[in-house]
């Protein structure tokens, strides 16, 4: 799961939601210095990642990738599933439309920036809002993958993943449809009883 799914799977509490987002921004930092609710969100993020990475439907999606993309299959499938979540946001989202939701996440990030890990605090909030709001479009996903590749200095080749998504859209959408109810049900238990999923 990528950013949109992590945000959606979190409970409706701003610091917990931002903690779920922060999971990708805390490598090498001392988590004990963070607010306890942020730490809980980071634990949830990691538990969701473990569950997702091991799930047979997600593994099936990765096997669909051509050999040259399999090395980055985990990243690509996470982004693809965010795309399908965004495409069905009116049914699977939080009740607001995707641009409004993205704007609310931006506001939470800006309001609580001083409580966040430095790498997340440095993330341009306007950019985050644009990325989340564009996930329902193929050109939006192409832009996200290009930006992710640039952030790695070109070491991780992701751009070709956009063409693959366009080509295999129906099959990957079927995988998402099979997986989403499972991750929703499972993550509900994580939110209710986080200690059980560390």
Residues 6+ apart with CB under 8 A from 71: none
- Distance (Å, whole) CA 67 – CA 62: 10
pLDDT, residue 48, reads: 94
Per domain, the residue ranges of the chain are 3-193
pLDDT of residue 151: 79
pLDDT of residue 188: 77
DSSP code of residue 85: H
What was the pLDDT predicted at 66? Answer: 93
pTM: 0.91
Positions of the chain with pLDDT under 50: 194-198
Quickly tell me which residue has 């004990």 as its tokens. 32
Q: What is the structure's pLDDT at 196?
A: 43
pLDDT in tens, 179-191: 999 999 998 776 5
Give the pLDDT score at 24: 86
Distances in whole angstroms, Cα of residue 105 to Cα of each of 17, 20, 114: 9, 12, 15
- Taking the C-alpha atoms of residue 154 and residue 151, their distance in angstroms, rounded to an integer, is 7
């Amino acid at each position: 799961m990528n950013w949109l799914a992590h945000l959606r799977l979190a409970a409706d509490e701003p610091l917990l939601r931002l903690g779920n987002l922060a999971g990708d921004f805390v490598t090498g930092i001392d988590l004990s210095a963070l607010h306890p609710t942020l730490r809980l969100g980071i634990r949830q993020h990691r538990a969701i990642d473990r569950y997702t990475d091991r799930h047979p439907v997600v593994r099936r999606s990765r096997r669909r990738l051509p050999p040259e993309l399999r090395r980055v299959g985990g990243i690509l499938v996470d982004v693809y599933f965010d795309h399908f979540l965004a495409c069905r946001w009116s049914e699977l989202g939080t009740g607001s439309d995707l641009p409004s939701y993205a704007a609310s996440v931006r506001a939470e990030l800006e309001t609580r920036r001083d409580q966040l890990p430095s790498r997340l605090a440095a993330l341009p909030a306007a950019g985050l809002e644009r990325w989340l709001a564009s996930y329902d479009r193929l050109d939006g996903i192409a832009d996200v993958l290009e930006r992710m590749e640039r952030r790695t200095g070109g070491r991780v080749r992701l751009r070709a993943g956009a063409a693959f998504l366009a080509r295999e859209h129906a099959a990957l959408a079927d995988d998402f449809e099979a997986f989403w109810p499972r991750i929703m049900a499972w993550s509900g238990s994580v939110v209710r009883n986080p200690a059980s999923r560390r």
